[in-house]
A and B are shown apart, each in its own frame.
Chain A
């Protein structure tokens, strides 16, 4: 088998979230493969625009949804520039699922705190939907999501939907200066908003994904809230090419992020050198 050869996927739907972020729903051209496709939330795929190359994105749909998989990207380079132009009916390539996943089984019976920044909403969104679809297995859910400006928030419609669920609290924020006159969310940086929100942290796990600077300042807040290192999770975004532990690009200290990651808890992360 050629491990580098992707499956061909039909583009079902394209949604534009911000000036430079779109999400895409795809399904295997081979219907039986779509039926058999199984992954765990937190895993990633390698997506191709033929003629331009491959890019790595989280699979941001819930693993409980069987009709399609979804990914979300920011238009920022050659491949994403090409993906920006795709329309329903087009074909793209997909390899995966790769990497480890969020330990959603271990999280059962716990309260969940999701913290995201900007384009990092998609890799959290899959876990949020997974938890909502298995609502009875999890306790309170708190979602803190921030972006630079109101226009940079992705999956805004879903934020409102989530807020409607029982025992789900959604805190939205934008960086100072990023608010609009009708903005009814918080204004401030994610770590500060998180601290101010005084989220109860008993029997909780946190998943925090965002720009390195946001993660860096959110971690001490979570620790202060009383979360143990083993209960704070993140997903590393190291650059990848092969996704299967060969190309040598995603090393962070002793780990191959594509195989042993991308999901790490803070306890594991503290043992890694700062190479991400």
Chain B
């Protein structure tokens, strides 16, 4: 037996949550052919199908792109620091893709090793992730190549399966999920199933051996020559998490904020002396790939990539992680002649 909810009932539920003061986010068509995860004012804005995945990721609901860390004010000669109130509103992220949901447990250890980031942790606690198993994929999806799947449960509190008849099977995976859907579903004998998974493959061992090999390999430069260093890949990636801390205001008062940053920017590692360990775009691409497939798994246990394909989909020159990995595989198997 399964639990099922109709699309109409689901939308009614969403309006109910919003009415109770819950912040609800989900895919929303913001322009023709352009769907983003965004806050919803009412359930009508929720886009459930007709697209592969939103152009951004759900990370911004637990780790906003711009976040105030504290305020400061100068009174005469005395500086006064003011705390930021941590968010208190519960939040539901609805119809997230499994490749978005999986990113959150992957990021948890980073925000908690030794020093615990309360901003991240509070939002994480307040957030319930309701995933929609994927029924379509496009040429850029590769979740199955990094150990996930169109119905991977990691990071989800509940998962919906489109039954194709205007209703969804609801699988509650955690207490948070059960709390949302308890008593709201009908029992049924229909069972949902994710449709056709992406077929792309990566030999992760080959990637490992390449990134552990020659650090100065000319291939990094060659494979990534067309990279413009725009950072779209990092900003739309569910797992990229680098940030900058800056002051907004003047010496009299203002706030200290953190903003998303990206290792693809040329000033990212530039020292005050002018020395820059990564002066070329190829070196910055090497860092991105090495961090995701070597450094992060070694340190925190998981590959820092969920195979969503956003980096390529949003790349002005069609680069992104998969094309780079694919080229690396070819180099490693000798399909490409040595540079």
Q: Considering the complex, which residues of chain B in the window 199-223 have a beta carbon less than 8 Å from any beta carbon of chain A?
A: 215-216
Determine the chain A residues whose CB is within 8 A of the CB of B271 once the complex forms.
237-239
Provide the B283-297 mask, 1 if CB < 8 A to any CB of A, else 0. 000010011001100
Chain A residues lying within 8 Å of B118, measured Cβ to Cβ, are 1-3
State the CA gap A52–B256 with chains docked (Å).
Answer: 9
Choose from A4, A76, A242 the contact partner of B272 (Cβ within 8 Å). A76
- CA A259 to CA B113, docked complex, whole Å: 10
- B261 to A: closest C-beta gap in Å: 7
- Kindly list chain B residues whose C-beta atoms are within 8 Å of the C-beta of A245: 110, 113-115
Are B269 and A4 in contact (CB-based, < 8 A)?
no
Q: Which residues of A contact B268 (CB under 8 A)?
A: 239, 249
> Is residue B228 contacting chain A, with contact meaning CB distance below 8 A?
no
Identify the stretch in B94-102, B161-169, B241-249 within 8 Å (CB) of chain A at 4 or more residues. B241-249
Do B116 and A3 touch (CB < 8 A)? yes
Chain B hits for A48, CB < 8 A: 256
Q: Is the CB of A251 within 8 A of B69?
A: no
> Known interface pairs A50-B79, A242-B243. Does A252 touch B72 (Cβ–Cβ under 8 Å)?
no
Query: How many residues from A make CB contacts under 8 Å with B?
Result: 46
Q: Could you tell me if A246 and B111 are in contact, using CB atoms closer than 8 angstroms?
A: yes
Q: Are B254 and A51 in contact (CB under 8 A)?
A: yes
B31 lies within 8 A of chain A by Cβ: no
Interface bin, chain B: 35 or more
Across the interface, which residues of B come within 8 angstroms of A251, CB to CB?
Answer: 287, 291, 295
Q: Which residues of A contact B114 (CB under 8 A)?
A: 244-245, 259
Q: Is A43 engaged at the interface, CB distance under 8 Å to the other chain?
A: no
Complex: A93 Cα to B272 Cα, angstroms: 20
- Selected interface stretch from B43-51, B273-281, B316-324: B273-281
Q: What residues of B have a CB within 8 angstroms of the CB of A273 in the complex?
A: 215
Bound complex: CA of A131 vs CA of B191, how far in Å? 72
Given the contacts A91-B77, A246-B243, A253 and B295 also touching, CB distance less than 8 Å? yes
Q: Which residues of A contact B269 (CB under 8 A)?
A: 238-239, 249
Chain B residues within 8 Å of A53, by CB: 245-247, 256
Please name the 3 residue pairs, one residue from A and one from B, whose CB atoms are nearest each other, closest first: A248-B242, A51-B251, A273-B215
Chain A contacts to B: CB under 8 angstroms: 1-6, 8, 48, 50-55, 74, 76-77, 80, 82, 89-91, 93, 211-212, 237-239, 241-242, 244-249, 251-254, 256, 259, 273-276
Q: A246-B111, A248-B242, A251-B287 are in contact. List 17 more A-B contacts (CB 8 A).
A: A2-B84, A3-B118, A4-B245, A5-B69, A5-B70, A50-B74, A50-B247, A53-B246, A53-B256, A76-B272, A237-B271, A238-B277, A245-B110, A246-B110, A247-B244, A248-B291, A274-B215
